[in-house]
Chains A and B, each alone.
Chain A
Amino acid sequence: MKALIYSEKASEITDAIGFLHVLSEELNQDFDVYALSLSSEEEVSKEGVKGLEKIYIVDKGTTKAISDVLSNLYSEHKPDIVLGPTTKNSTEILARLAAKNELPMITEVAGVIGLDGDVHLEKPIMGGRALAVYRFTTPILATVPAKKFKPKAVDTTPSIEKLSLPEEDGYKLIDVKPKEKGAVDIEAAEIVVGVGRGFKNKDDLDLAFNIAEIMGGEVGCTRPIAADYNWLGEDRWIGISGKKIRGKLYFAIGISGAPQHIMAAMDSKVIVVVNKDKNAPIFQYSDYGIIADLYQFLPVFIEKLREKLGK
């Protein structure tokens, strides 16, 4: 079979090849692999990507221009499977290709399962609370999460060809502003204190920062706190569209418990919840729940914590 990979960073080619290796084991079939990459020749060789025939390199451009290039490669190679990373641009670019050729597509494949000769693909749905299981079929498109599937050692070294972007008509890029990068790595934190819309003002977040400081952790948040209110940086945003955490403790305060948020914290060892609404869905996901107004409970808790920990 043949596969075509779209990638922005060279490491995403490795992610997709990892997926193909897992799939190939279940299908008992090998893949001839081609890739289109937005990264430079140096980045590609630095990543040391192996296991494919050829990498086409193209400059960065609009999603429209890039999807046109990918579409030409699709027509040329007629691959059985087209893969890309789970980024927003890649999702759009693959969806455009799927639309043009009326192909099925799975956004974010999280697993490959072999079931007596039948191969199934899993995809998180409902904010990560459930998995949809699809029967593998070809041709098919899918986006592959980072670092999920590990490639086997192989030694085919790809040749490289440079392609150019098409002229654009009636659709142009006007401006690109890089986002400021935050310095907090909550994915590596052992203790995360999470804040949600139960906090009424930005200044009140000091309560959470105090707890994080005493316990030696970081503050994380729900999407509205970072993206709607801009109270905290996007580096602290936990959820399916943000970061995943997996430390010893997640202390969720004033958060309702939408799966789109809390499922990204389910690898934490202990989950503590403070919410004033006893029916808030987040209690289902808690080890220890406290039904209280955070403005009343947190000051008391902070004082006790200082006392007990001698800080």
Chain B
Amino acid sequence: MNIAVLVKASLDTNMLRVDSSGRLLIEDTPLAISEYDRNAVEEAVKIKEAHGGKVVAFSLLTWGPIARKEKDAENVLREALAMGADEAHLVSDESLLPGEVGITAQVLAKLLDEHGPFDIVLTGEASMDMLSSQLPARIAEKIGASVITYVRKIEVADGVVRATRDLEDSLETIESKTPVVISVTGEINQPRLPTLLQIRRSFAKPLNKYKLSDLGIPSIVRKLDMAEVKLVTVSRKNIVLEGDKLEDIAEKLIEKLMEEGVVKG
């Protein structure tokens, strides 16, 4: 069973850097593994443990500057390797910044074809930064696989995959032939925390880097023009209630809640 897992180095939504005028500083915001891509890696490793084969992790850098962000993307792939992936491949190219999901699919599909064929391609349900949920269907189309999205349970038997989709009002089980692209929810499993030894060993595993020209893709055609990224303004009082005793703090809070008209004494 050959399994590919796609992991994105997403802008870390808990570490957004903002300047004094409230502008988002994308260049200074660190990248981290997209929350649910960790679940995708865990599921890939689990399937490998049960059925044999290998797990190959792929990532494409979507935020610059490359000089600062490429390291973050490498760390994301190292994390996948430490969790049990066998090899990793990273595309980083100036012309791909900022990322556009259709192009990401086109470029990653090329790499998947080169390193495949894969029976199963796992992704997260949505990337933490862009929340597009388009990549699974787009990559499936490119590599000629079927696609099952928002999956919280996977069963694999020869040549067939059964997956339970977690929808708004129902749980839906789909059976599909392989090759299949599956996007997983955060609830599918509990991602393992790699041990120190596993982290150290991950540095001995292959992590290859590519430019577009290495993939024989001469140029790309953008379909969408992202004019701007605007921070949503959040203005709150940010008052920390302090006191020597918890009783005092509790009283202060109740006082404030009464002042605000939220509770009535």
Pair A288/B253 contact, Cβ less than 8 Å: yes
Known: A125-B130, A130-B232, A223-B186. A309 touches B265 (CB 8 A): yes
A132 to chain B, nearest CB (A): 6
Give the complex CA separation of A35 and B231 in angstroms. Answer: 34
- Which of chain A's residues have a CB closer than 8 A to the CB of B228? 132-133
Cβ-neighbour of B138 out of A99, A124, A131, A228 (below 8 A)? A99
User: Which residues 218-271 of A have a CB within 8 angstroms of B?
Assistant: 223-224, 227-228, 240, 248-249, 256-260, 263, 266, 269-271
Q: CB-nearest residue of chain A relative to B164?
A: A175
Size bracket, chain B contacts: 35 or more
Taking a contact as CB atoms under 8 Å apart, the answer to whether A132 and B229 are in contact is: yes
How many angstroms from the CA of A284 to the CA of B18 in the assembled complex?
A: 12
* A 170-212 to B, binary, CB cutoff 8 A, 1 in contact else 0: 1111111111010000000001000000000000000000000
User: What distance in Å separates the Cβ of B4 from its nearest Cβ neighbour in chain A?
Assistant: 17
Is the pair A305, B254 in contact by a Cβ cutoff of 8 Å?
yes
Contact among A92, A102, A227 for B149, CB-based, below 8 A? A92
Residue in B132, B137, B168, B223 whose Cβ sees the most chain A Cβ within 10 Å: B137
Say if the beta carbon of B241 comes within 8 Å of chain A: yes
Cα of A128 to Cα of B238 in the assembled complex, Å: 20
State the majority secondary structure of interface residues on B.
mixed
Q: Are B240 and A99 in contact (CB under 8 A)?
A: no
Asked if A151 is an interface residue, CB under 8 A from chain B, the answer is: no
Q: Does residue B147 face the partner (Cβ distance < 8 Å to A)?
A: yes
Give Cα A297–Cα B137 distance, bound, in whole angstroms.
47
Q: Of A18-26, A51-59, A83-91, A156-164, which binds chain B? A: A83-91
- What is the bound-complex CA distance between A181 and B229, given in angstroms? 37
B81 to chain A, nearest CB (A): 25
Against B, the Cβ 8 Å flags (1 = close, 0 = not) of A128-149 are 1111111101000000000000
Question: Does A285 reach chain B (CB closer than 8 Å)?
Answer: yes
Q: How far is the CA of A98 from the CA of B141 in the complex (A)?
A: 10
Minimum C-beta distance from A9 to chain B (A) = 11
Q: Which residues of B contact A (CB under 8 A)?
A: 11, 13-14, 16, 24, 100-102, 105, 128-134, 136-138, 140-142, 146-147, 149-150, 162, 165-177, 185-187, 190, 223-232, 234, 236-242, 246-247, 249-251, 253-254, 256-257, 260-265
List 12 other contacts, CB 8 Å, given A88-B167, A126-B16, A308-B254.
Answer: A88-B133, A95-B136, A104-B100, A105-B102, A127-B13, A132-B130, A134-B224, A170-B146, A228-B190, A285-B234, A290-B240, A309-B263
Of the A-B pairs whose beta carbons lie under 8 Å apart in the complex, a sample of 5, sorted by A's number, is: A95-B136, A96-B147, A130-B232, A173-B173, A287-B239
